[in-house]
Amino acid sequence: MTSEAPYANLNPNIVLKAVEGVGFHCDGRILALNSYENRVYQLGMDDGTFVVVKFYRPQRWSDEGIIEEHQFTDELVEHDLPIVAPIEVQGTTLHKDSGFRFAVFPRRGGRWPELGTKEELILMGRFLARIHAVGATGDFEHRQNISIERMGEKASIYVLDSDWMPDHLFVSYEAITSHLIDRITDAFIQAGEFRQIRIHGDCHPGNVLWTDSGPHFVDLDDCVTGPAIQDLWLFLSGNRESRSRQLQDLLEGYSQFYNFDYRELYLIEALRTLRMINYTAWIARRWIDPAFPRAFPWFSENKYWEEHVLALKEQAAILEESPLEMA
């Protein structure tokens, strides 16, 4: 196995052998789930149930970092939060087989959250606040922080140093990312000394399974230290008026369980911009993995890069606007 093709040797036989090696009895049913950063499979058990196994991307996290993720999920579960946490087997949640690290999770059903009503947004806000209340009680030692340097500066430099950027866009991309990083830095300064806590980090609707009784949160693979607003802004959509109304509803529920620092509103568009820059660098870094060309075939087209640079320029204008206000 090489860093250039991290999952080249991972096949169904290895998946089944690894899971059975820690005590599960598989019936041979295996379904690859929609995952790119890691490899995730649903496996059928002899008793008719299912588990989900995640094979962590080699060389991305240290063992200590993965264990911290698992410990955080366990803390949240202990506080009666609906988090899908890994199953402890043989005294640990992190296992190794054939050069891969993996964890086994219970399967949870659910649907994409529409969050179309005030009541649903208030409920989501309550759950996010409870996650943050637990997150604020401790610190990560082996996981990343939300960082302008990592997500903005280094990400944009990686793209510029790669062969992806079309020649006719190189100067424009370099100029707009430099300008955006300055504006992002200004926004962080305006927000002041906001508190940084343990957060989900990638809490978008795709990582929430909605049921009749409320949400289940999955995939804390990107849990980091950062501002609380990072776990809130990804649920905002539509025009400015709609986003303000959604944020107000989220915070109505949120404030019932945890105090929100309204200075963090300065960070919403700054964090969105960092995500846009970092997302492109993420795909570029992972392109050697065959799953990425299959999932993102448009990435190699000039049209994508033209639209990306245009979107960054539009984001620069948005960063000049005042923060969202409550409707």
Q: Which residues are known to be catalytic?
A: 202, 219
Q: Taking the CA atoms of 130, 33, 93 and 69 in sequence, report the sign of the dihedral they define.
A: negative
The token duo for 195 is 């508190």
The token duo for 129 is 């606040």
Angle at 222 between CA 5 and CA 45, to 5 degrees: 70
Q: Are 8 and 58 in contact (CB under 8 A)?
A: no
- Phi, psi values for residue 225, rounded to 5°: -95, 125
Q: How far, in whole angstroms, is CA 185 from its chain's centroid?
A: 22
Taking the CA atoms of residue 302, residue 204, residue 312 and residue 285 in that order, the dihedral angle to the nearest 10 degrees is -50
The token duo for 61 is 């996290």
Q: Are 67 and 93 in contact (CB under 8 A)?
A: yes
CA separation for the pair 102, 57 (Å, rounded): 9
Of 5, 4, 43, 37, the closest CA to residue 24 belongs to 43
Three-class SS state of 41: strand
**What type of residue sits at position 270?**
A
Q: What is the DSSP string of 88-113?
A: PBTTBS-EEETTEEEEEEE----B--
